[in-house]
Amino acid sequence: MKKNNRNKYPLQLNHGKKDVLIFKNLNQMADYGVTIWKDIAWKAIEEQGRFVVALSGGKTPVELYNRLALEKDFPWDKTYVFMVDERFVPYESDDNNYQMINRILLRHVQIPAKNIHPILTLESSSSGSALRYEEDLVSFFKNIDDKYPQFDLILLGIGDDGHTASIFPGSDELSLKETRHLTAAITPSDESKKERITLTFPVLNNAKNIVFLAAGENKAEIVKEIMGSKKSLLPAAMVKPKKGKMLFLLDKSAGSLL
């Protein structure tokens, strides 16, 4: 990135056909995230009477969720919230993504309970939870023309190993070859990470809009790799919407090597 435009944020880049916005800080990124959320939502509600979104866990989207919780006039009654992924832990666990999103956002807005679709972790196995979630997706999107559910917006994070959703590097069962299942149960090779349930690439890549959020120095190297190589096998680099739009929102630390 040209050095001379570094103090004018947000900086707009097109890196290897990927649209990137770099923000001064997480707050500016979150403010912009609310704007995009509302633009996509109102368009979806105008066109189809509802806005269907899938949310990721992790730390980066927390500021955005905090701001969305203040949007009391937003049409939450026409908004349907799904999870991108979930750790196979009880709701009460601090590792549970749905618990975090409910605590920070959902319980503060007037969204009907029936509009919220968590990945339940009550089954005896993560594969059982993945199957239940797939059944929920099929039932909700039942009249979809397309073979796969189509979300209006999917918010994704980027792990410092290049994972996104709960698709980790080397997750063979989740290569782009996976075309049948909408969800999968994952046992990360990294022992410290919990068993997980995740949406698969066919669902991610069928979205109308994908927005990646990444912040912090620790993401700079992986973001550079994701942006720099068209053939990267990093999961976050393998997200390529078939017809939809994709945008990367980075803070200046995560975008510092672009």
Residues that bind ligand 6PG (CB under 6 A): 56-60, 84-85, 97, 157-159, 163-166
Give the integer Cα–Cα distance in Å for 99 and 78. 21
Cβ-based nearer residue to ligand 6PG, 159 or 202: 159
| CA distance linking residue 164 with residue 56, whole number of Å | 9
Q: Which is nearer to ligand 6PG, 39 or 190 (CB)?
A: 190
Position of minimal CB gap to ligand 6PG: 157
Task: Give dist(CA 115, CA 108) in Å, integer.
Answer: 14
What is the rounded CA–CA span in Å between residue 194 and residue 86? Answer: 9
CB 7, min distance to ligand 6PG, A: 26
Residue 3 token pair: 């050095």
- Give CA–CA dist 188/115, Å, rounded: 30
- In the bound complex, what is the minimum distance in angstroms from residue 228's beta carbon to ligand 6PG? 19
Identity of the residue, 165 or 237, whose beta carbon is nearer to ligand 6PG in the bound complex: 165
> Nearest distance from residue 83's CB to ligand 6PG, in Å?
8
CB of 118 to ligand 6PG, least distance (A): 13
| Residue 86 or 134 having the CB closest to ligand 6PG | 86
**DSSP letters along 140-172, please?**
HTTT-SSSS---SEEEEE--TTS-BTTB-TT-G
Residue placing its CB nearer to ligand 6PG in the complex, 61 or 244: 61
